[in-house]
A and B are shown apart, each in its own frame.
Chain A
Amino acid sequence: MHSNLATSSTLLRRLQLGPQDSSAWADFARRYGPGIHQWCKNWGLDDADAEEFAERVLTQLLERLRRFEYDGKGSFRTWLKNVTLAAWAKLIAEKKPGHGANKTARLESPQARDDLVARLDAEFDQEVLGLAMLRVSQKVDFNTWEAFRLLALAGRPGWEVARQLEMKVAAVYLARSKVQKLLRQECAVLEKEGAKK
């Protein structure tokens, strides 16, 4: 079940279904860790401090994700936001005065807090979109997917894509439009998975 889940569900869903699934924890750290690391660096920490502080944020996040029982009423996105805010508040409250305290001063501002929430929210967008793309690519025919991929992801001009795929120019745009509509539907489904009906 886990290998199937790994490619078909969001990490928050995987953590909800299997709080002891260490591969889900590792995948969560791989996906969300870099955003937290970048956040630390953007708010003034050097490489070593950023890595150390990012580990503390990740630890708080993961412990809270495990402890916080997701009630299924809100979206996973809201859950992630609430957990992030709580983790940030805990780290700020834990701050000890003395050497090194000034280093994290900028991370304590409301702007830094909102930036952290926004970065993790954007990462969640990326995760949901990636899973939606996987699902949609399996639902549409090769040319439809390729037209979308070449136009939207590779940034190729319509006439060139049409020539490569031996389609009409209008048809390649229609294909992209179809895939985008399906992506939006799948994203909505993924965001609601796990929520109580």
Chain B
Amino acid sequence: MRRCPERTVLQQYLDEALASSDGDSVEGHIEKCKACQKLLAALVETDTPTGLAPKPPATPTPEAVIERFAALAIRLAHAAADPDPGAKMASRRLGS
């Protein structure tokens, strides 16, 4: 393939919608053509899922603070599972 393939052909290549021989010739052309490499890169880039390269916050939350949040969540989970441990102990004592 001497001439650069159309943009739609490159998209078909990425969608694996080309016949095997056509795919091979597109690959062969792209190997030598910087312009097509650039276009192929751009086509793939526009198809990138949201949030693939998130920017980290300027000042990340310190690890110690994050662990305090986790400890709080564990306390809440335990409180939810056993809302009144005192009452349970009292009823156990009464039952014995």
- Which residues of A does B touch, CB under 8 Å? 19-22, 25-30, 33-34, 37-38, 41, 51, 54-55, 58-59, 62-63, 66, 122, 125-126, 129, 151-153, 155, 158-159, 168-171, 173-174, 176-178, 180-181, 183-184, 187
Contacts and interface: CB of A to CB of B under 8 A. Distances in A.
Contacts of B66: 29-30, 33-34
A188 to B, nearest CB: 11
B19 interface: no
B61 A38 contact: yes
Interface string B52-73: 1110010111000111111111
A78 to B, nearest CB: 17
Interface of B: 13-16, 26-27, 30-31, 37, 40-41, 43-44, 47-54, 57, 59-61, 65-74, 76-78, 80-81
Given A34-B61, A169-B31, A170-B26, A29 B73 contact: yes
A168 to B, nearest CB: 5
A117 B74 CA distance: 23
Given A20-B77, A33-B61, A174-B16, 4 more contacts: A59-B76, A62-B73, A177-B43, A177-B47
